[in-house]
Structure formats: C-alpha cells, structure tokens
Structure 1
Amino acid sequence: MLAGFCLSSCDRTLDVQTVFPFEVETMPVRKEIAVGETAEIRCLLKSKGDFSDTRYTIRYFQPEGEGELRLDGVVFEPNDRYPLESKSFRLYYTSRSTDRQLIDIYIEDNHGQLQQLSFDFNNKRTK
C-alpha cells in the first residue's frame, strides 16, 4: 500500500525556473547640474540567474523639472518603453531647466518584475 502511494504522488515533469529576481546597480551620480549640462548614469543589471528568453525594457518619468534622457543616442519619451539590449548600459540626462529636477527610471522584465531608480538634481549656478 505504501509503495502505491509513493508511485502515485511522483511527478515526472521537470520544474525549470524561468523567472529570476534582478537588481540594477549604478555608479555614483552627481547631484548638481546646470542648464545644458549632461550627467552620465552608468548602470549594471544583475540577475540572480539566467534564462535566455528574459527580456528587459526601460522607461522613465520626470515628475519635477525638465530635461531629456538618452540611451545609445535615442532620446526617450516619458513613459514609452524601450528595449535594453545589454545588461551594462549608460544613460545620459541633459538638464533643460533651472529648477530642481527629479527623474524616475523603471526597468522591467517580461515576467512583470520591476526595479525603480530615482535621481534628484539640483540646479548648479554658473558664474
């Protein structure tokens, strides 16, 4: 009887993990920026595992101030998703405002996992 129980509860399917948590690391970013200046944001996406079908996208929103965010020469439109082709990438933010500027960057995988980065820039007064 015990042998019958063991045989009926065994499952021959292999459980393959396809979703892995990830995080985004950045190098330090300056806090002050003047109108027309560009700040570089170096990013590294680190996943706790590797699944070949995982794809990542990036988007941003600017709740305060005015500026533009670029990746590989492409100027981002707020809240539009753009594919990330590499796990190591550099973003470039150019100030278009003398006010305080805040940008929120969202990196999402095709499994619905999301990481948010926020950057706060104060106006640098030029002499």
Structure 2
Amino acid sequence: MKNLIKKNIALMFRYSLLLYLLAFILNSCQDTEIEIQQDFPFEVKVMPVPAKIGEGKTVEIRISLLTDSDFNGTTYSIRYFQYEGAGQLQYYSDPSYLPNDEYPLLQKEFRLYYTSTSSESHEFSIWIKDSFGNEKQIDFKFDNAS
C-alpha cells in the first residue's frame, strides 16, 4: 500500500512538472514583435543673423539640425516662402531656391545665403521636414539697411 501511494505521488509530481513545463513553453512562444524606433524628433538651431540688410547684400544663415539619435534612414528637405520684400535664398553656391519648392538637404549642418534684391524690409519663413513628416518652421525678418 505504501508503495502504491509513493508511485501515485511520484506520478502526480511528474504530470504536474510536465504541465508546468508545457505551460512555460506555450507562454514563451507568443508572437512578440520588436519595435524599432526610426522616427526621432529634431530641433533646428540657427546662429544669430543681422537685423538689417541692404539691397544687393547677402546674409549668411547657419543652420544645424539636432537629433537625439542618428538613424541613417532619415532624410531632410527644405522649402521657403517670402512674405515681404524680394530676395533670393540659396544653399551654398547652388542655384536659388524657388518659393514653396522642396529641396533635399544633404547635411545636418549647412549654410544658406539670402541676397536682397529690393530696398524694402524682408520677411520669409523656412520649413525643414524629415522623411517621417516632422516639420519645423523658422521665421526671418530683415529691415532695410539704408
């Protein structure tokens, strides 16, 4: 009788151990996806620019894009719109930008050059957008230097 009880306890122990092991295996096989973050917010840092500009004169605008991460797949683009005055905005020595057209940015630190073509004050905005749709706007205002 004692042997029968010992065999039943050993058998119950084996079955419960098997059930726990089976529950652990089935629980660990759940479909879990690893989420990879690619969309990182960015900030735009602009070095100080002069408050006035004369007709025919050029102002250098130094811009840096700051991000918390360096995901290689992120691309950036730029566009601008002039509200007041007349002038030309260009990236280094590239041709002047056309208002509201989007242009790719190849670097996170770059210089733009704004050249006044009128003797009045100038107001324009620059929009920088990443490939995930995040967009930042920077406004510029230059008074007439004369």
Q: TM-score, normalised by structure 2?
A: 0.78
Write out per-residue CA displacement over residues 56-115 of structure 1, whole angstroms, 9 at most, x where no aligned residue.
000100011100001022210001111000000000000011111001000001110001
- Report deviation, 1:10: 4.9
The residue number in structure 1 matching 2:115 is 94
Q: Which ranges of structure 1 fall in alignment gaps of 5 or more residues? A: none
- Report deviation, 1:47: 1.1
DSSP-derived class of the 1:30 partner: coil
- Say whether 1:55 aligns with 2:54: no
The residue number in structure 2 matching 1:27 is 47
By relative contact order (CA 8 Å, sep 6+), the higher-ranking structure is 1
The residue number in structure 2 matching 1:107 is 128
In structure 2, distance between residues paired with 1:62 and 1:96: 12
% of aligned pairs identical? 45
**Quick one: structure 1 residues 7 and 111, their matched pair in 2 at CA, closer, same or farther if it must change by over 3 Å?**
same
Identify, as 1 or 2, the structure richer in helix.
2
In structure 2, distance between residues paired with 1:67 and 1:93: 7
| 24-33 or 48-57, which deviates more | 48-57
* Structure 1 ranges of 4+ moved more than 6 A: none
In structure 2, distance between residues paired with 1:22 and 1:67: 28
1:5-84 equivalences under 5 Å are 7=27, 10-74=30-94, 75-84=96-105
Q: Decide which of 94, 106, 117 is 1:85's aligned counterpart.
A: 106
In structure 2, distance between residues paired with 1:26 and 1:113: 18
Letter in 2 for 1:94: T
- Rg larger for: 2
Aligned positions, number: 122
In structure 2, distance between residues paired with 1:79 and 1:9: 51
In structure 2, distance between residues paired with 1:7 and 1:86: 47
In structure 2, distance between residues paired with 1:78 and 1:72: 17
